[in-house]
């Protein structure tokens, strides 16, 4: 069984071919990051327009192994939410019309479940229950993934998502958007222990990255003019504080739930320090699966993986798919 | 793009809540799904019509805007997807050109004005082109977005003004009544070839309107 998966919920136009054994025959992502960089963040209308202009070409590239033969597919998986309304509308309308034209059924997928189940591609033997830490520009969620139909949100950020904090701190440091990879790059050259920043660990697995961001703001104000080395040291101190906070809570969640498996997912999970530290902290406690970096940032292979799991439980959608920009994560 | 037995699928979701999908043979509407609004209803209509047309489907023509934010984007996306799946040519038509064809092409200038929401107006001018049975309204420049309260001087001056939603309250120009429905207008425009053919890998989604970037 083979699905064509399509993802357009934010600023990546993506398509992939995924089998029911979670093997990925193709995965194509057209990033819009450069186009949005000039505005310091994602411009929803620009994102929708770029999806329209790129979707056919992206799908064509993903279909190359099948020589554009849609009859070699068993169905189409597409993101139905959460996400930007215009972007979701483009993906869902395109996917359903393509499926109609090719006589294929459709399965709608929750984007956040997609992030988590990207781990199935990394480790097809992965089975619930597990603890998940999902970190991106919009989410900082600790979840207890008991089964595919029972996912409990253990805790989340009270304010900024961790990816958002990376973007905002990058801007304070004069680094371009998107901030995550830039901070990661600059922090490699810095001393993380020259400055000490708070670890915003809240009760009930809560996070507050707004407070950490404000601490960086005050630090920079106190420092005045900063040279290259100081800038790298601040980036390193921020990265360490953010990553330690995430790992402390992940470890606590593993201990509380008693899960022997854990998943680290979402765009921020491509951060090198986070990957290393999470592995070290969970050593002997739980087996940790982290998708390869291209499967952490938005992509369609993860939508295909979540589509495969959804099919096993619910089958294909029996009615036409409606988008849901505010769809509850992991629902 | 059409042979005698072939049909074309037309899609226009520019007017919020009044989206339409239809099959056209010659200039006749042979299947119609009207009142389309959200993504699901559009998907259902496109699936119905693609199934009904079967192998006779020879092309897809879509209203590229301006109009409803979600509607125009959904329509373009659906048209691209269907054209790609069936390897069909994709035709683009201006949404205000569809409105214009609710009146018969004739002498003079037609000014089409439709509501754009939030106190805005889309305005486009047309003149008749072609002759005999092939006559149709041709755009004079792209549609312009303007404020309904204070349109620029002369923006609404024309020999005729078609305004199906009655958004333009001031009696500028001679107001003409529509002689055909929206779906008949789209069918007429498709039959008379009033669209530009694009590959399904659309290179530019400009929604047929001139206004500031990036929106
Ligand atoms: Zn995402």
Task: Assign B214 a pLDDT band (cuts: 50, 70, 90).
Answer: very low
Q: Average pLDDT for residues B4-26, to the nearest whole number?
A: 93
Closest CB to A94 among B50, B80, B86: B80
Q: How far is B81 from chain A (nearest CA, A)?
A: 4
Closest CB to A86 among B40, B73, B82: B73
Q: Which residues of B touch A48 (CB under 8 A)?
A: 73
Quote the ligand 1 centre to A97 CA distance (angstroms): 24
Q: What is the pLDDT of residue B4?
A: 62
Q: What is the pLDDT of residue B2?
A: 52
Check B201 against A57: CB less than 8 A apart: yes
Check A94 against B203: CB less than 8 A apart: no
Q: How far is B199 from chain A (nearest CA, A)?
A: 10
Q: What is the pLDDT of residue B204?
A: 78
Confidence check: pLDDT of B207 > 90? no
- Residues of chain A below pLDDT 70: none
Check A93 against B86: CB less than 8 A apart: no
pTM of the model: 0.94
Structure tokens at A243: 């990553």
Check B39 against A102: CB less than 8 A apart: no
Q: What is the pLDDT of residue A41?
A: 85
Closest CB to A95 among B81, B86, B214: B81
* Distance in angstroms (rounded) separating the CA atoms of residues B94 and B209: 9
Q: Which residues of A touch B58 (CB under 8 A)?
A: none
CB A6 within 8 A of CB A40: no
Triad B45, B47, B51: Cα angle to 5°: 120
B102-120 pLDDT tens trace = 999 988 889 998 888 888 8
Q: Which residues of A touch B205 (CB under 8 A)?
A: 49, 52-53
Task: For residue A99, give every residue at least 6 positions away whose Cβ sits within 8 Å of its Cβ, in sequence order, or none.
Answer: A75, A76, A105, A106, B47, B81, B85
Q: How far is A96 from chain B (nearest CA, A)?
A: 6
Nearest by Cα to A61 from A28, A30, A94, A14:
A28
- In A, minimum Cα distance to B42 occurs at A93
B130-178 pLDDT tens trace = 888 889 999 999 999 998 888 888 888 877 878 877 777 665 667 788 8
Check B73 against A102: CB less than 8 A apart: no
Instruction: Report the share of chain B in percent with pLDDT over 90.
Output: 59
Closest CB to A322 among B40, B50, B81: B40
Quote the ligand 1 centre to B147 CA distance (angstroms): 37
Check B86 against A56: CB less than 8 A apart: no
* Distance in angstroms (rounded) separating the CA atoms of residues B92 and B81: 14
- In A, minimum Cα distance to B55 occurs at A101
- Respond yes or no on whether ipTM tops 0.90: yes
How many Cβ pairs within 8 Å bridge chains A and B? 120
- In A, minimum Cα distance to B214 occurs at A46
CB A62 within 8 A of CB A4: yes
Task: Assign B62 a pLDDT band (cuts: 50, 70, 90).
Answer: very high
Would you list which residues of chain A are within 8 Å, Cβ to Cβ, of chain B? Answer: 39, 43, 45-46, 48-49, 51-53, 55-57, 59-60, 70, 85-86, 89-102, 319-323
Q: What is the pLDDT of residue B1?
A: 54
Confidence check: pLDDT of B206 > 90? no
Please, which residues have CB less than 5 A from ligand 1, an ion? A 298
Phi-psi region of A32 (alpha: psi -120 to 50; beta: other; left: phi over 0): alpha
Q: What is the pLDDT of residue B211?
A: 61
Please provide the distance, in angstroms rounded to a whole number, between the alpha carbons at the two ends of chain B: 33
Check B77 against A60: CB less than 8 A apart: no
* Distance in angstroms (rounded) separating the CA atoms of residues A243 and A237: 10
Nearest by Cα to A7 from A295, A291, A263, A264:
A295
């Amino acid at each position: 069984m083979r699905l064509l998966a399509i993802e357009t919920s934010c600023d990546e136009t993506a398509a992939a071919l995924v089998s029911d054994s979670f093997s990925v025959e193709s995965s194509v992502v057209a990033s819009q990051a450069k186009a949005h960089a000039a505005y310091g963040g994602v411009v929803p209308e620009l994102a929708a327009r770029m999806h329209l202009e790129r979707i056919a070409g992206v799908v064509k590239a993903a279909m190359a192994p099948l020589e554009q033969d849609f009859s070699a597919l068993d169905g189409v998986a597409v993101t139905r939410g959460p996400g930007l309304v215009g972007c979701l509308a483009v993906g869902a309308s395109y996917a359903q019309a393509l499926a109609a034209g090719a006589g294929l059924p459709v399965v709608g997928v929750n984007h956040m479940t997609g992030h988590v189940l990207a781990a199935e591609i990394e480790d097809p033997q992965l089975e619930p229950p597990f603890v998940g830490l999902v970190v991106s520009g919009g989410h900082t969620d600790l979840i207890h993934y008991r089964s595919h139909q029972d996912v409990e949100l253990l805790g989340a950020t009270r304010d900024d998502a961790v990816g958002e904090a990376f973007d905002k701190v990058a801007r304070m440091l004069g680094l371009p958007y998107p901030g995550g990879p830039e901070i990661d790059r600059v922090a490699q050259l810095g001393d993380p222990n020259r400055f000490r920043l708070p670890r915003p660990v809240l009760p009930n697995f809560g996070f507050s990255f707004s407070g950490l961001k404000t601490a960086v703001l005050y630090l920079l104000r106190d420092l005045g003019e900063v040279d290259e080395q100081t800038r790298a040291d601040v980036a390193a101190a921020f990265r360490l504080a953010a990553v330690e906070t995430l790992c402390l809570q992940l470890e606590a969640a593993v201990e509380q739930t008693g899960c022997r498996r854990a998943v680290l997912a979402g765009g921020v999970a491509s951060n090198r320090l986070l990957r290393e530290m999470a592995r070290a902290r969970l050593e002997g406690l739980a087996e940790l699966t982290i998708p390869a970096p291209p499967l952490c940032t938005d992509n369609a292979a993860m939508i295909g993986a979540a589509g495969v799991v959804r099919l096993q439980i619910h089958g294909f959608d029996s009615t036409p798919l409606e988008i849901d920009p505010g769809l509850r994560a992991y629902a | 793009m059409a042979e005698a037995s072939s049909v074309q699928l037309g899609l226009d979701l520019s007017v919020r809540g009044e989206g339409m999908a239809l099959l056209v043979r010659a200039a006749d509407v042979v299947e119609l799904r009207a009142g389309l609004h959200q993504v699901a209803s559009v998907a259902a209509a496109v699936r119905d019509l693609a199934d009904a047309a079967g192998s006779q489907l020879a092309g897809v023509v879509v209203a590229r805007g301006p109009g409803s934010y979600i509607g125009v984007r959904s329509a373009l996306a659906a048209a691209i997807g269907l054209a790609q799946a069936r390897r069909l040519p994709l035709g683009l038509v201006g949404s205000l050109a569809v409105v214009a064809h609710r009146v018969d092409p004739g002498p003079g200038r037609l000014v089409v004005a439709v509501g754009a929401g939030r106190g805005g107006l889309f305005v486009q001018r047309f003149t008749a082109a072609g002759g005999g049975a092939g006559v149709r309204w041709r755009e004079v420049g792209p549609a312009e977005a303007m404020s309904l309260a204070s349109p620029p001087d002369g923006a609404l001056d024309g020999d005729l003004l078609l305004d199906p939603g009655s958004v333009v309250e001031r009696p500028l120009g001679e107001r003409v009544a529509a002689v055909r429905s929206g779906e008949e207008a789209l069918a007429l425009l498709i039959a008379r070839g009033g669209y530009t053919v694009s590959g399904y890998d659309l290179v530019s989604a400009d929604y047929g309107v001139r206004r500031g970037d990036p929106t």
